[in-house]
Every structure is written in C-alpha cells, then in structure tokens.
Amino acid sequence: MKKIIFIMLSISVVCLLLFFIIYGQNQHIVIENTKTKKNIINTNALTMMYETEAGSGEYQVSTDTTWPQDGYIFNETLSKCENGGTLFWNNETNKVIMQSNTSDRCYVYFDVDVNTLADVCSGGEKLAQCIKNFYNTFGEGEDGLYYHDGQGEYGDLEAYYNSYRYSGANPNNYVCFGSDAATCPEDNLYRIIGVFGNQVKLIKNSRLGAAYASSGDWKNNSINMDLLNGTYLESLGNWENFIANTTWNVTYQSSVGNLKNINIVEEPYDFDNILYSAKIGLIYLSDYGYAASPEYWNTHMSQYADSISSNWLSKMINSWTIVSMDENQVYVIDAENNIRNFPILFSGQVIFPAFYLNYSVIYSDGKGSVNNPYRISLEKQDTFNFFIDDKEYTAEAGMTWYDWIVSDYNVDNFYIDFEYNKEPGISNSNVLFGNGERVYDSETLEDVFGGEKIIEGYYTT
C-alpha cells in the first residue's frame, strides 16, 4: 500500500514539474491600443521610451500612462526587459505582450513614424527608382527629399540638372553598405546624397581617416590614387561590384559663392571642364550645400555655419572635398562648417569617401534610419558580358570557369595557370587575371563578377 502511495505521489510531482516547465512562461498584457482602451496595464513594470526625432536613434523616458498619440510605432527590436522577458506586438489584438517566467521590468520603445522607401517598395526594385517613386508619391520635402531641375518650387536656387537630393537635419537616408550583419556595424553605415540620372550617390557616414593632399590636381592626388581608389576600394571586396565607374568633374574653381554659382561647374555633364574617371571620389561643394534645408540655399558658402543644425552633412568638419582652387589649394569644410580653400599640405583634414552605385543595385528592405538602415543587393543577372583582348564574350551566370574554359569557342582565348597541378586537369587549375588575382575554376562567373555586366581584363600567365 505504501509503495502504491509513493508511486502516486511521485507521478503527481512529475506532472507538476512538467506543468511548470511547459506553462511557466506567462504572458502578460502590458500595454494595449484598441478603440476603447489606450492604457498601460502595469505602470510599475514598464518604462516608455520615445524617439526624440525621426531617425535620430535617440530616446527619452516618457511619463505617459497611455498609448502614444498618432505618429509613433512600436520598436520591437529595441524593446526589452531586465530579467530575460521578451516583448512583442500582437497585430490581432493591438497589444504589447510581455512573456516572462519571473517578475520583470521592461522598456517599451516607440519610433517616430515617418514615410520611408518601405512605403513605396516591397523589395526587389531598383534603389534609384524607389527614391523617385517616394518623391512622386509623397511630394516635395517629404523626409527631406527634394527634386532639382532649376525651375521648380525653389527656382534658380535649385541644381540645374535633374536630381533628387536629401536635405535637412536628419532624413532617413542611411544605407548599410559592405555588410550583411543583422545589426549594421557603425563602420558600414553610409548615407544617400541623392539620385543623379539613374545612379544613387552615397557617402560614408564615418570618417575613413585623415591625410595630406599631395596635389590640387585630383588625377595626381595621393588621396585619390593611393587611398580612395587603392587601399579603400580594395578593402570593399565583392562590394566593389556595387559601385559604378564614374566620370567626376575635377575642374579648378577660382572662388566660391552661393549654390547657383557653384553647381553649374560641378556637374559631370559639363564636358567643357576637366573630367576624370574612377569609382571613388569625394563630395562636391554642391553636395554639401544642398544637404542643408532650402532656406540656406542662397547663403554664401563661405558663411554656411548657420546651417549646422539643418544640414545632415554638418558632421564633416575639417574634411576634404573633391574641388580644388588650383594645383596648390583644395576646398575644405572647415571647423565652423564653412567652405574655404586650404593649402594642399595642410594637416588634419579628414576623408569621407563618396561614390555612385550601379543602376542594378536594388532595394531589399529597411527604413533608412540609423538603427534600421536601407539594405541593398545586386540584381541577379542571367548572363554576364566581359572583354578579353578587346573581344566581348557572354556566359551564363551560373556557369563555372571550367565549363566556360572548355567550351569550344572560348578554349583558345586565354591562358590557364597550372601552378598547383602541372598536368592539365580540373581540380587545381585556375585562371590568372592580368592583375595577378587568381580565380579558381570551381567558382561561378557570378561569384567572380558579382553584378558587373561589363568586365575588362587581360588574362595572362
């Protein structure tokens, strides 16, 4: 009899343990937003955090005991609890749910709700077209985006060439470039200057470093040759394929004025001026000027300091631009955010790389904020075109190098280096590029070329 009682008690204990294991995580409604209720259920366990301004990534504690007014959205990524509890939004009930097996204190974050590219594109569309669609949908000035054609709302204060530019204190124009990490590293945050033709122009959000300018002639400037289009470009790896080879206007500019005098001579479409082709550059003076709110567009750029609080590029103090006064002087953004010319050997000027993306770059997701930047990718190509000895070839994107090598019409058009396998074969053979970079024959054309449609190169042993 005692054995039976003991067995029954043991079974009961096991059942209770299983119950607590399975159902130990309790769900508690901590805040709800419905037609009849907009209140916090448990104020002792909850702290409300409101974003200070759209895209700022900065939050302040709120004493509100009700759901935020219109203009805020729940940020599930940042919302958290001290003792391991989790917070999530229930779309069906319009409630924030706390899931925890202990008493906990939680912090609920709300972002300022603004229109972003996510409202006009679902992912897979050209990034440049998404930005244009955003403007066409929401109009002039929404999220700091303005259209420039020299005859719009701001007349001759606008840039003379058709372009879409981000202006103001802090538009949602952040892009994660060079990383696919779930949380974009700070060093991989870039910002969109605008859309020029069908190309999106980016600038690095953080400085690359400081350097001397060896010449006012950009083509011979060590910042251009050794750093930007040398070390920096090489560090990007396959992400270099996202960047277009661009014609930069590097003419000398004898003086600065307001924007309507500057932008005429800076646009790369003016073929009377000196042009230079490369992937990486720096910003034009007009890029900096039009990043300020429109009320500053008629300000002399040597007196642009007043625009600091209304210019998202104002962090670029003591930095080089791509514009020179002559061979010995380059224009910089000084410590007060004014434009001035500095001698080329002046020390301490910092570098913010800028470049244009290929039109094939597509928008994937994101909302353009510092915490949720836009994510981009390359449009998949069915075929790739490339040149060898000035002759153009086409191959399927998924084709391996070996497949391409042994096809009858290609076999005699380049060399195979069998350094690791002296006998002709497959496993260790590789193609040797003219610049010395090896590409193994097991790699696909897509792996090697990324999204570039045209690749020029000379293959040699």
pLDDT in tens, 147-170: 998 777 787 788 877 899 999 999
Domain boundary among 77, 112, 147: 112
pLDDT exceeds cutoff 90 at 82: no
Spatial separation of the C-alpha atoms in residues 404 and 73, rounded to whole Å: 52
At 456 the pLDDT is 31
| 297-301 average pLDDT score | 89
Spatial separation of the C-alpha atoms in residues 17 and 11, rounded to whole Å: 10
At 19 the pLDDT is 37
For 17-21, 335-339, 405-409, which range has the lowest pLDDT when averaged over its residues? 17-21
Quote the number of domains for the chain. Answer: 3
In contact, 431 and 220? CB cutoff 8 Å: no
* Nearest by Cα to 338 from 295, 293, 285, 294: 285
pLDDT tens digit sequence for 105-148: 888 888 887 889 999 999 989 999 999 999 999 999 999 999 99
pLDDT exceeds cutoff 70 at 226: yes
| 50-62 average pLDDT score | 79
At 215 the pLDDT is 87
Structure tokens at 138: 């929401």
At 402 the pLDDT is 56
Asked whether residue 13 is assigned to any structural domain, the reply reads no
Statement to judge: residues 138 and 192 lie in one domain = yes
Work out whether strand 46-51 and strand 106-112 pair parallel, antiparallel, or are unpaired: parallel
Q: To the nearest whole percent, how much of the chain has pLDDT over 70? A: 65
In contact, 33 and 41? CB cutoff 8 Å: no
Asked whether residue 253 is assigned to any structural domain, the reply reads yes
Burial, 246: exposed, middle or buried (Cβ in 10 Å; 0-12, 13-18, 19+)? Answer: buried
Statement to judge: residues 302 and 370 lie in one domain = yes
pLDDT exceeds cutoff 80 at 450: no
Statement to judge: residues 416 and 314 lie in one domain = no
Statement to judge: residues 332 and 441 lie in one domain = no
In contact, 365 and 372? CB cutoff 8 Å: no
Spatial separation of the C-alpha atoms in residues 183 and 180, rounded to whole Å: 8
Which ranges constitute the DSSP H helices of 278-425? Answer: 285-290, 401-406
Spatial separation of the C-alpha atoms in residues 235 and 206, rounded to whole Å: 16
More confident residue, 317 or 402: 317
More confident residue, 158 or 333: 333
More confident residue, 177 or 409: 177
At 418 the pLDDT is 33
| 305-321 average pLDDT score | 90
At 204 the pLDDT is 98
Statement to judge: residues 164 and 145 lie in one domain = yes
Asked whether residue 403 is assigned to any structural domain, the reply reads yes
Burial, 296: exposed, middle or buried (Cβ in 10 Å; 0-12, 13-18, 19+)? Answer: buried
- pTM of the shown model: 0.68
In contact, 172 and 55? CB cutoff 8 Å: yes
| 213-223 average pLDDT score | 88
Residue corresponding to tokens 């060079």: 178
Statement to judge: residues 444 and 368 lie in one domain = no
pLDDT tens digit sequence for 228-277: 999 999 999 989 989 988 888 888 888 887 776 665 556 554 444 567 88
More confident residue, 323 or 439: 323
Domain boundary among 334, 349, 378: 378
More confident residue, 26 or 454: 26
Statement to judge: residues 357 and 407 lie in one domain = no
More confident residue, 15 or 296: 296
Asked whether residue 8 is assigned to any structural domain, the reply reads no
Spatial separation of the C-alpha atoms in residues 431 and 453, rounded to whole Å: 19
The count of other CB atoms within 10 Å of the CB of residue 170 is: 20
Asked whether residue 14 is assigned to any structural domain, the reply reads no
Rounded to the nearest integer, the mean pLDDT of the chain is 75
More confident residue, 346 or 26: 346
Asked whether residue 72 is assigned to any structural domain, the reply reads yes
pLDDT tens digit sequence for 186-208: 999 999 999 998 899 999 999 99
More confident residue, 98 or 245: 245
Statement to judge: residues 154 and 227 lie in one domain = yes
Distance set, CA 57 to CA 75, 93, 185, 282 (Å): 11, 28, 14, 26
DSSP 441: T
Asked whether residue 119 is assigned to any structural domain, the reply reads no
Statement to judge: residues 96 and 231 lie in one domain = no
Statement to judge: residues 304 and 356 lie in one domain = yes
Domain boundary among 71, 87, 112: 112
Statement to judge: residues 73 and 215 lie in one domain = no
Spatial separation of the C-alpha atoms in residues 295 and 311, rounded to whole Å: 11
In contact, 40 and 31? CB cutoff 8 Å: yes
* Nearest by Cα to 191 from 326, 314, 84, 27: 314
What is the CB-side half-sphere exposure of residue 14 using CA atoms within 13 A?
Answer: 6
Spatial separation of the C-alpha atoms in residues 201 and 279, rounded to whole Å: 11
Greatest mean pLDDT among 18-27, 69-78, 233-242, 452-461 lies in 233-242
Asked whether residue 402 is assigned to any structural domain, the reply reads yes
**Residue length, the chain?**
461
At 79 the pLDDT is 84
Q: Is 375 left (phi over 0), alpha (psi -120 to 50) or beta?
A: beta
Domain of residue 438, residue span: 383-457
Residue corresponding to tokens 């792996």: 447
Statement to judge: residues 410 and 278 lie in one domain = no
